Structure 1
Amino acid sequence: MLDRVSLRGLKARGNHGVFAKEREEGQTFVVDVVLGVDTRPAAQSDDLTLTVHYGEVAEDVVGVVQGDAVDLIETLAQRIADVCLARPLVQEVEVIVHKPDAPITVPFDDVTVTIVRGRDR
């Protein structure tokens, strides 16, 4: 069973969405990631190089959100999962992309897409 390293509430501005206004004005996206990592070697040796550096992962995630625009938050979530899985010690990742300012005409709190990806999927 893998251990979990979680980053919650990463915020970044991006220009994702299918509508012109979303692409032009942008909006804030909030991302949660849960990384599946075996932390035992790091815990035994107290060595950062034997685990995932969550500060670097946070920067990578924000970079994806601020990067090239996509229509769907499903695509954004997949791109975030890909950068997380590019780290050799990350075996799986859960990504939740929140779009709290989605263009919906009725009152709502949040819109999210959640994906789970692993090295074998």
Structure 2
Amino acid sequence: MDRITLTGVTAVGYHGVFDFERRDGQPFVVDAVLYTDFTKAAETDDLQYTAHYGEVAELITKHIEGEPLNLIEGLAVRIAEGILENYQVAAVDVTVHKPKAPIEVPFGDVTVSVHRERS
């Protein structure tokens, strides 16, 4: 399976279990890998036969900036399902980074990842 990879799509969201996370917001960063077949797109050189990664980035941003959720697991699932619903891909991996998570010890990043396939 061929892949389109988007990394570092960043926006401010209001996700988290604490009041200050919902009030103040923080950056969320999303990576997505879209699994598809490039054969027809490569043969025709036509965008309609692949996933428009600019539009995918906008969809990701809308989810980050959208309805606040307690858990980034839910955000990752909503993004993955949104990609499958809107683009002709066989499967998608989505990783949500929460680099400013309220953790009391030094850390580099927190991520959750999901894999979803078209049924």
TM-score (norm 2): 0.98
1:32 maps to 2:20 = no
Query: Please, which moves more after superposition, 4-13 or 83-92?
Result: 83-92
Letter in structure 2 aligned against 1:14:
G
- Give 1:88 shift: 4.0
Residue 101 of structure 1 corresponds to which residue in structure 2?
A: 100
Residue 12 of structure 1 corresponds to which residue in structure 2?
A: 11
Runs of 4+ in structure 1 over 2 Å off: none
Per the alignment, in what secondary structure is the counterpart of residue 86 of structure 1?
helix
**Aligned partners of 1:52 and 1:87 also within 8 Å:** no
1-side partners of 2:51 and 2:75: how far apart? Answer: 22
Aligned length: 119
- Give 1:82 shift: 1.0
Letter in structure 1 aligned against 2:50:
T
Residue 86 of structure 1 corresponds to which residue in structure 2?
A: 85
Any idea what the Cα deviations from partners look like across 1:81-113, whole Å, max 9, x if unmatched? Answer: 011101241110000000000000000000000
1-side partners of 2:33 and 2:87: how far apart? Answer: 15
2-side partners of 1:55 and 1:87: how far apart? Answer: 13
Residue 21 of structure 2 corresponds to which residue in structure 1?
A: 22
Residue 63 of structure 1 corresponds to which residue in structure 2?
A: 62
2-side partners of 1:22 and 1:40: how far apart? Answer: 44
Any idea what the Cα deviations from partners look like across 1:35-58, whole Å, max 9, x if unmatched? Answer: 011111000110011111000000
1-side partners of 2:88 and 2:12: how far apart? Answer: 28
Per the alignment, in what secondary structure is the counterpart of residue 86 of structure 2?
coil
Letter in structure 2 aligned against 1:69:
P
Gaps of 5+ in 1: none
Letter in structure 2 aligned against 1:37:
T
2-side partners of 1:87 and 1:44: how far apart? Answer: 23
